[in-house]
Amino acid sequence: MAKLNIVKYGDETLRKVCRPVDKITPRTLTLLDDMLETMRDADGCGLAAPQVGVLRRIAVIEVEEGKPIELINPKIIAYAGEQQEQEGCLSLPGRWGITKRPKHVTVRAMNRKGEWFEISGSDLLARAFCHELDHLDGKLFIDEMVKELKE
């Protein structure tokens, strides 16, 4: 595995819409592994492929230590409730804000074997799903921010 460079705010890659993954290849699997290592090394709880310069619909999330979630071609299929909580981003270091997100989210995605699955989460996991899937559409948490927090 290798630690990847995290793209920072201002890089146009972060504002581009990602393409779907048509076929899961050894390169896809390596990217998933490298993204997970990179996210953990940076003390994050989520990382999307465009944040490492890859314009594919791939994200990794780990809000519970040792329980990573790999998402290929993810899509939010249901959401409910509302939460306003603090959010940050590995691509915008040192910047924090309050965002309005659903409290509960269900995502449909493929795993590394190409099998479709559904996963639901609340609170932090729901926020992470929304945050990372937004990255795949060229959106950043600052686009959803209702209040910026000063350090």
Range of the domain at 78: 12-149
Residue 1: pLDDT band by 50, 70, 90 thresholds? confident
Locate 60 and state its tokens: 């990794």
Residue length, the chain? 151
How large is the average pLDDT for residues 31-38?
A: 98
Segment 37-59 mean pLDDT: 98
Which residue out of 132, 144, 148, 151 is catalytically annotated? 132
pLDDT digits (tens, 9 = 90+) for 69-102: 999 999 999 999 999 999 999 999 999 999 999 9
**3-class DSSP assignment, residue 41:** helix
Whether residue 34 contacts residue 49, with contact meaning beta carbons closer than 8 Å, is answered with no
Q: Is residue 88 part of a domain?
A: yes
Q: Is 64 noted as a catalytic residue in this protein?
A: no
CATH of residue 80: 3.90.45.10
Q: Is residue 6 part of a domain?
A: no
Q: What is the mean pLDDT of residues 97-123?
A: 98
Query: pTM of the predicted model, to two decimals?
Result: 0.96
Q: How many separate domains does the chain show?
A: 1
Structural domain includes residue 5? no
Q: Residue 97: helix, strand or coil by DSSP?
A: strand
Does residue 63 lie within any of the structural domains? yes
Task: Return the pLDDT at 151.
Answer: 63
**Alpha carbon of 92 to those of 6, 12, 44, 131, 149: distances in Å?**
10, 13, 12, 13, 13
